[in-house]
Amino acid sequence: MIFEVDRQDFRQTRVDEIPQVALGPGQVRLAVERFAFTSNNVSYAVAGDLLDYWGFFPADAPWGRIPAIGLGSVVESANPDVPAGGRYFGFYPMGSELVVTAERRGRQGFRDTGSHRAAHAATYTDFRDVSDDSSWDESQTDHYLLLWGMFMTSFLIDDQLGDRAFGGASQTLVTSASSKTSISLASCLAGRSDVQAVGLTSERNRIFVEGLDVYDRVITYDEVDQLDPAVRSGIVDMAGNAHVRASVHNRFVDNLAFSVSVGATHWDQMESGDGPLPGPTPEFFFAPAQRAKRVEDWGAVELDARIASAYQTLVECSSSWLNIEHRQGPGGIEATYRDLLEGRADPASGFICVMNED
């Protein structure tokens, strides 16, 4: 079984049966043990055509399969380099199984080399062998699925902005401040002494965001006009809310050093018919590009070590606010999707889903 979304109408969903096909040479069949479901996955759907997230796991039109960070185990193999029994961290569909054409990558794991993945960055096609990962802690599996991928993105955002000296900005505004990607970014920004993090959130989530203690200041979306326009600032937009983004641009105008778009948690408020914004042109952040740059600068081992060290700070912080919820079966996945799509989910909740109910 596999969960699918109508690419033209995100509110329409279905659970489809997956016919089990015989493996071809070099292929492996993975049983999806579990996967994380967060507002970030809604962003994948919104950017599905722009960044080809729908191409990860192709489906018949008009349906699309949302990628999710998960853990799977090889239950059948026609690849002598990837025997049955291994467990791998990577991107999976929201379903019960996945068949991939695998190419071994040393001891670390393998890469999906299917023709439909040729244009995708290695970050999205790699499956990491958790038995050979020194940072893997079985007792922290759910935290890892929920936080690692988003933290890596946030680390790279912070790194890119730092590499550019934040354009001279002394404060960074972070929208959708209650989302786990935004919290991850605030955790990174907290390690800097030369820039402050201002969380922008809804009134509904204000108390939660203030209690995180990772933002220097927290305001609601309708309080943007209270920000001092003389303070050189930048915005990292996780919400994708055109009205909020315009409010920030119009407040700071040329004193806005940068405008980076990352997510789309406010997916239904993205359109704006007001023409070009004052200040910098919004720039879409693409994590694999910044990772590739740092691999070239530092080497993969050094980059991974830096990310892992910073990630531990977030994990320690999350113990005070993250409540992990497990949901099973098509009904549980559907309910989780509805909660996230409509913005009803408690920001403190972290959802771990399993397709199979037994």
Q: What average pLDDT does range 128-134 have in this prediction?
A: 84
Q: Does 167 map to a domain?
A: yes
Q: Does 215 map to a domain?
A: yes
Select from 288, 312, 345 the last residue of a domain.
288
Tokens 């778009």 sit on residue: 261
CATH, residue 283: 3.40.50.720
173 shares a domain with 87: no
pLDDT at 267 over 50: no
332 shares a domain with 279: no
278 shares a domain with 170: yes
Q: Does 294 map to a domain?
A: no
Q: What local confidence, expressed as pLDDT, does residue 271 receive?
A: 57
CA distance 46 to 40: 10
Which has the closest alpha carbon to 201: 343, 323, 40?
343
Q: Over the chain, what is the mean pLDDT?
A: 92
Q: What local confidence, expressed as pLDDT, does residue 93 receive?
A: 97
155 shares a domain with 118: no
CA distance 304 to 320: 26
- pLDDT, one tens digit per residue, over 230-256 is 999 999 999 888 899 999 999 999 999
164 shares a domain with 73: no
CA distance 339 to 347: 11
Q: How many domains does the chain have?
A: 2
- pLDDT, one tens digit per residue, over 189-216 is 999 999 999 999 999 999 999 999 999 9
Q: Does 296 map to a domain?
A: no
The pTM (predicted TM-score) of the whole model is 0.88
Q: What local confidence, expressed as pLDDT, does residue 137 receive?
A: 83
pLDDT at 85 over 80: yes
Give the rounded percent of residues in the chain with a pLDDT score beyond 90: 76
Q: What average pLDDT does range 319-337 have in this prediction?
A: 95
122 shares a domain with 20: yes
- pLDDT, one tens digit per residue, over 101-125 is 999 998 889 999 999 998 888 888 9
Residue 160's pLDDT band (boundaries 50, 70, 90)?
A: very high
Select from 273, 288, 303 the last residue of a domain.
288
pLDDT at 318 over 60: yes
CATH, residue 343: 3.90.180.10
270 shares a domain with 182: yes
Could you give the count of Cα atoms lying within 13 Å of 119 in the half-sphere of its Cβ?
7
pLDDT at 276 over 90: no
Q: What local confidence, expressed as pLDDT, does residue 265 receive?
A: 54
Q: Does 212 map to a domain?
A: yes
Q: By residue range, what is the domain housing residue 156? A: 150-288
Q: What average pLDDT does range 9-25 have in this prediction?
A: 93
pLDDT at 264 over 60: no
114 shares a domain with 157: no
Q: What local confidence, expressed as pLDDT, does residue 268 receive?
A: 46
Could you give the count of Cα atoms lying within 13 Å of 300 in the half-sphere of its Cβ?
5
Q: What local confidence, expressed as pLDDT, does residue 263 receive?
A: 62
In SS3 terms, 101-146 reads as: EEEEECCCEEEECCHHHCCCCHHHHEEEEHHHCCCCCHHHHHHHHH
For residue 69, the cross-strand partners are: 91
